[in-house]
Chain A
């Protein structure tokens, strides 16, 4: 499946160029929250654009940018798959116009798309949407799908993650590192155009996999077997062996249990190759955009492959023996791999793996 257009907004700014230069600066985009009052919270950092951007209009902007790059002007019959958390306003009004489906329908209509689908599967929502879009194209159901996703940092989710002690009190994301303390949530809005064929593709989604742990409400299965199945499914669809992978953009949330399970899953699925393939989690730079994060990470991965520079795993303090991976630390790694994995996991034991390939 060809990726023919991409649009993105992150705390580094609007557009892919801002995201790429930001992540390759190796400096996280985190700062004190000023969008709302956090004086009663344990944590106070987020990765946020200036001010209080509007999700609906930001989504429209990134979708239009992706479509412009793809040359997608006639959108008749093309579905829009949208990954969302939801609108905090619905909790204050019970107004049906603020429900995810109505919100998505208005975005789709404004951009000229056919009614699509809304994914609300927490931190794998956007990657599940990409996998489903790729599958639908692969099976011949449709020829083009636009996948978009958006989350902008707001007070309700910040308060919930803070109450659950999931936010990093030190304001840094340190995936797979000793001393990691949790996540930093961030603004993330992204869109990609996926098509069966393209004259000038940016990259290809060569494989995908989705799996469940069948283990716990919110903890990953400790042996990483669920993530391993998703990775193996993605490799299988792509017809690749682990040694052909040149980069992994890991889920790497910076959470104690999740990072260990993911590292074990990578070792289980990749075998000896897990010790050599370069790994980083770009959440350590752009933050975690909840339902939208996988799409920001997919865009980041494509940009990194095309640039020939793999982002660092920022915030690294020292090797955790339970996270045995070849992490990219200190500075971006110059490399031009043909294939990369973008991994995500979420509450409920949900796992996804997207396998990206460069145009060859």
Chain B
């Protein structure tokens, strides 16, 4: 089966492109960026209810992991909000609830950044029947502290 792209979005689109804060998520830009790129991708289209949410990230949420490690190494208690955002499922759940996407929630950590692994899983889910469409969100954080991350999102459905 080939997948058909219904919508796509990228971040940043310019040097001034910004990411709004996301209530309940702190310290790290990972989850706000995932939520923002999902909203941007779904601005002009309505996804079906049986849409999977697939988050793909080679880096994962480095900033949350670093904040946790910093607290632990200092003998302190991490902030409780870090617990909720420590796995990419959390922002996937936010996206699924906000946009009414009740397909499977899947997070992947490929060796190389990009959508490829997500597209492969989306193709499998749609052919297997647990989803009609998939919103695939690639979010990467900079490996250098203070660097800029990037994100891509696509909404796909099954083709012929």
Contact = CB atoms under 8 A, between A and B. Distances in A.
Interface of A: 37, 40-41, 84-86, 88, 90-92, 94, 96, 99-102, 104-105, 115, 117-122, 124-125, 128, 132, 135-136, 138-139, 141, 155-157, 159-166, 209-218, 226, 229, 233, 346-350
B107 interface: yes
B152 interface: no
Interface in B61-93: 62, 65-66, 68-69, 71-73, 75-80, 82-84, 86-93
B28 to A, nearest CB: 11
Given A37-B75, A122-B88, A215-B93, 19 more contacts: A86-B109, A88-B65, A90-B62, A90-B65, A94-B62, A96-B143, A115-B111, A120-B57, A135-B127, A160-B83, A162-B77, A211-B102, A212-B52, A213-B97, A214-B96, A214-B97, A346-B87, A350-B92, A350-B105
A141 B91 CA distance: 31
14 contacts: A86-B60, A90-B65, A91-B62, A92-B69, A94-B145, A99-B109, A100-B58, A118-B108, A121-B89, A132-B124, A210-B125, A212-B53, A212-B102, A346-B105
B58 A101 contact: yes
A37 B73 CA distance: 11
Contact of A212 (B86, B104, B121): B104
A347 to B, nearest CB: 4
Nearest to A225: B102
A105 B69 CA distance: 24
A92 to B, nearest CB: 5
Q: Most A CB atoms within 10 A — which of B53, B91, B128? A: B128
B110 interface: yes
Contacts of A161: 83
B79 A163 contact: yes
Interface of B: 24, 49, 52-53, 57-60, 62, 65-66, 68-69, 71-73, 75-80, 82-84, 86-94, 96-97, 100-112, 117, 120-121, 124-125, 127-130, 143-145
Given A100-B60, A101-B58, A346-B89, A163 B100 contact: no
Nearest to A157: B86
A280 B10 CA distance: 45
Nearest to B93: A348
B87 to A, nearest CB: 4
B78 A101 contact: no
Contact of A347 (B90, B108, B111, B112): B90
A217 B90 contact: yes
B106 A91 contact: no
A113 B58 CA distance: 20
Contact of A217 (B53, B97, B100, B120): B97
Contacts of A117: 108, 110, 117, 120-121
B150 to A, nearest CB: 16
B23 to A, nearest CB: 10
Contacts of B79: 163
Given A217-B93, A348-B105, A164 B88 contact: no
Contact of B108 (A119, A212, A215, A346): A119
Q: Most B CB atoms within 10 A — which of A102, A118, A233, A348? A: A348
A166 B13 CA distance: 39
A166 B82 CA distance: 13
A102 B108 contact: no
Contacts of A215: 93, 96-97
B65 A40 contact: no
A156 B76 CA distance: 11
Given A139-B127, A161-B83, A213-B93, A128 B62 contact: no
Nearest to B76: A40
B81 to A, nearest CB: 9
Given A121-B89, A139-B128, A159 B105 contact: no
B124 to A, nearest CB: 6
B76 to A, nearest CB: 7
Contacts of A132: 121, 124-125
The 9 closest A-B pairs by CB, nearest first: A164-B83, A348-B93, A101-B111, A348-B89, A100-B109, A91-B65, A210-B104, A350-B105, A91-B69
